[in-house]
Amino acid sequence: MSTPHSTPLGVAVIGYAFMGKAHSAAWRNVSAYFDVPEVEQTVLVGRDAEKVAAAAQKFGWKESGTDWRAVLERDDVHIVDVCTPGILHHEIVLAALAAGKHVIVEKPLANTVAEAQEMSDAFEAARTNGQHAIVNFNYRRVPALAVAKRLVDEGRLGAIRHVRISYLQDWLSDPASPMTWRLRREQAGSGALGDLGSHAVDLVLHLTGERIDSLTGGVHTFVSQRPTTDGALEAVTVDDAAWATARLSGGGIVQLEVSRAALGKKNGLALEIYGELGSLSFDLENLNELHFFDSRDAAGEQGFRRILVTEAGHPYVGNWWPDGHIIGWEHTFVHQFAEFLTSIRDGTESQPSLADGLRVQRALAAVERSAAAGGSSVTL
């Protein structure tokens, strides 16, 4: 049985590399900047005892460990935060829920739809014990995108007609870039499709409030082999790029593109939403800005207006610095954890839910099914 109102709430993070570092920084700051239950950085877990101990000391954890199963038995751990490769999400999340813990899991939720379904079902049972669980789609918590969500929900865009979203990076453009777990299907589930496409699909569903009814899609691998640490070549078993054209439940069209081989794009998440009354445009590389077009402006004054999302009245921003001071990518994790802790305290539903993660997983699988069928239309 979980203890949702215990203070402080003990946190265990499983994984200490890129995401483990980002999550550690968020746990260190969330209680300092937001009115949420106090948390304690109880234990950081990883496979290499020496490296995880060094990371724990650096990132502010009380202790480190190498056995995530042992962590689940501890009464001083209330939240389990899973930052491992996708191959471990299913096992750890199911065990953590069975142990009565609250759970955060990095995106994508799982490596397969079947795994994601089982995880979502397990949480539906666990929530009757007062447990909470989310998938960390942290881009929902970019203040500018929170403003975008509000404008859509208020009807400022009218019916959604067209969405264009791309998430482009270039870190795999060089054929000599070494092999990594992210390029092995058995560990990562998929390539750019799951890594970047999961964020893109979630934002489409979240911002529009609609579902994807059908799609056509494709995937491609530009570099089929990568060098390993011993100099040998290993086959790449995931995609470098993926794309889809989807039909929304409200009748609108989505064009989606993701790539990890787009030279010059470092973290280029770009979004455009066109409605019958207005439009929105956002670029993660300028994450404090949102551009809004309102067709009801006077004809001689129409144009995209730049909204600088740095004021205390904007979502999340007032908890940080005085008006006009920009915030960054790392703050989105703090915002997500603040939302999570608030839902635990207040007994409200936590978002993004594991059911949200399952919906994204189904869309990703549909892209691969369409690709395998030569780009045929697939119904979700």
Residue 354 pLDDT: 98
- Averaged pLDDT, groups of 10, the chain, 380 residues long: 65 97 98 97 97 98 98 98 97 98 98 98 97 98 98 98 98 96 95 98 98 98 95 96 98 98 97 98 98 96 97 97 97 98 97 98 98 97
3-state secondary structure of 261: coil
Judged by DSSP in three states, 68 sits in helix
Residues 6+ positions from 344 with CB-CB distance below 8 Å? 4, 5, 9, 37, 102, 132, 350
Length of the chain: 380
What is the per-residue pLDDT for 2? 44
- pLDDT of res. 1: 38
Helix (H, G, I), strand (E, B) or coil at 376: coil
3-state secondary structure of 291: strand
Alpha carbons 370 and 195: distance in angstroms, whole number:
19
Q: Which residues of 89-128 are buried (b: 16+ CB within 10 A; e: fewer)?
A: bbebbbbbbebbbbbbbbbbbbbbbebbbbbbebbeebbe
Q: Where are the domains of the chain?
A: 9-138, 143-286+288-326+360-372
One fold for 9-138 and 143-286+288-326+360-372: no
- Closest by CA to 191, choosing from 342, 85, 89, is 85
| Amino acid residing at 81 | D
Q: What's phi and psi for 156, nearest 5 deg? A: -70, -20
| Domain 143-286+288-326+360-372 in CATH 3.40.50.80 | no
CATH numeric code, 9-138: 3.40.50.720
